[in-house]
Structure 1
Amino acid sequence: MERAVFGASGFFSQKAFITGYRGIEHVRLGHQKGTNLDIVEIWFNPWKVSYRELLDLFFDLHDPTSIEGQPFNNQSFIFFSDKHQYALAKQKKNELKHIYKDKIITKITPANESIQGLKEIKLIS
């Protein structure tokens, strides 16, 4: 099992990764300590779904060009766990620069243990 962590608005958290997407074993929702940023933590089987596929899904489920002036909890984040995840996230963000007219504001930052209030959600098949 591997871990992927994404942050975006509450609307994103409620619709993202809740259906029984193949390879996703556990999903927990919470927020980042000291902020109201909504976090989705995904435990996935890399033999069934790749981190790259999860990145694609993440970017399909929200607008990565939302205005910087939004409240912090409405911004977009990728929290990477290792160098491989970091490289894939940077690559995906660079690819999107050629698709969107506006600036991609998704931030890529190291995952840490500052996620609070994580609650397991039931996956719907």
Structure 2
Amino acid sequence: MTTEIATLGGGCFWCTEAVFQQMAGITAVESGYTGGQVANPSYEQICEGTTGHAEVVRLSFDPAVVSFREILEVFFTIHDPTTLNRQGNDVGTQYRSVIYYHTPQQQETAKQVISEMANVWDAPIVTELSPAVTYYKAESYHQNYFRQNPLQGYCAFIVAPKVSKFRQTFRDRIKSEMT
């Protein structure tokens, strides 16, 4: 099996992690930070909004099962790419919409999908497109957060509806053990 990497920021990483953990072809999902100027940032530093990092998920995926384009189609469905530096009540540059590309092919695909999404959304797309840079894994308590805390308030009212939307919109892309 060949594996590729995708790194995406769509607001709080708990939301994006929970969705992509259910997607067929995704072999691993990890929450982390990238795009900033501070080495080994902590969650507390990220929350201050002064490090320049975005909360992201790093996906390992099997391109024979799911394409980067399909991943981006889900990405643009589960968050609002028209709000600058915010998703819902989460406000700050750490919650920006961003695609960190790992190859020239990913960059080109992302440009195409962003262009196509401009016809779907009523407001301009503000998703940042940047080359992948140094990535830092988030603290262990952030990993698998929704799975471990489904009844926590944020998870119940913010994450769960995004997971539900994914499951309803992309029924054919759910991992078989999740159906």
Q: TM-score, normalised by structure 1?
A: 0.85
1:118/1:68 Cα in 2 relative to 1: closer, same or farther (>3 Å)?
closer
Alpha-carbon distance in structure 2 between the residues aligned to 1:101 and 1:82: 30
Tell whether the 8 Å contact from 1:8 to 1:73 is kept in structure 2 after alignment. Answer: no
- Map Cα deviations across residues 23-81 of structure 1 (whole Å, 9 max, x no partner): 11011111224345211000000000111100101001101101457410221000000
User: Which fold has the larger relative contact order, with Cα–Cα distance below 8 Å and residues 6 or more apart in sequence?
Assistant: 1
Aligned to 1:89: 110
Contact residue 13 and residue 38 of structure 1 kept, 8 A = no
Q: 1:79 touches 1:111 (CA, 8 Å); kept in 2?
A: yes
Return the structure number with greater strand share. 1
Identity across matched positions, percent? 27
Kindly indicate whether residue 45 of structure 2 is the aligned counterpart of residue 24 of structure 1: no
- Tell me if 1:13 matches 2:35: no
Which structure 2 segments of 5+ residues have no match? 37-50, 148-174
**CA, structure 1 residues 108+66, in 2 after alignment: closer, same or farther (shift >3 Å)?**
same
**Aligned pairs for 1:80-119 within 5 A:** 80-117=101-138
Q: Give the SS at the match of 1:102.
A: coil
Q: Equivalent residue for 2:76?
A: 59
Give the partner amino acid of 1:104: I
Kindly tell me the number of residue pairs found equivalent between the two proteins.
Answer: 124
Q: Distance in 2 between matches of 1:90 and 1:39?
A: 19
- Cα distance in 1 for partners of 2:31, 2:117 equals 26
Seen in structure 2, the aligned counterparts of structure 1 residues 56 and 98 have a Cα distance that, compared at 3 Å, is: same
Give the 3 Å change call, closer, same or farther, for CA 43–14 of structure 1 in structure 2.
closer
Give the counterpart letter for 2:19 in structure 1. Answer: A
Aligned-residue Cα RMSD (Å) equals 2.4
CA distance, structure 1, for counterparts of residue 135 and residue 129 of structure 2: 16
Task: Give the C-alpha shift of residue 92 in structure 1.
Answer: 0.5
Give the structure with higher Rg (CA): 2
Aligned with 1:25: secondary structure?
Answer: strand
Question: In structure 2, which of residues 44, 48, 60 is the aligned counterpart of residue 43 of structure 1?
Answer: 60
The runs of 5 or more residues in structure 1 that have no matched partner are none
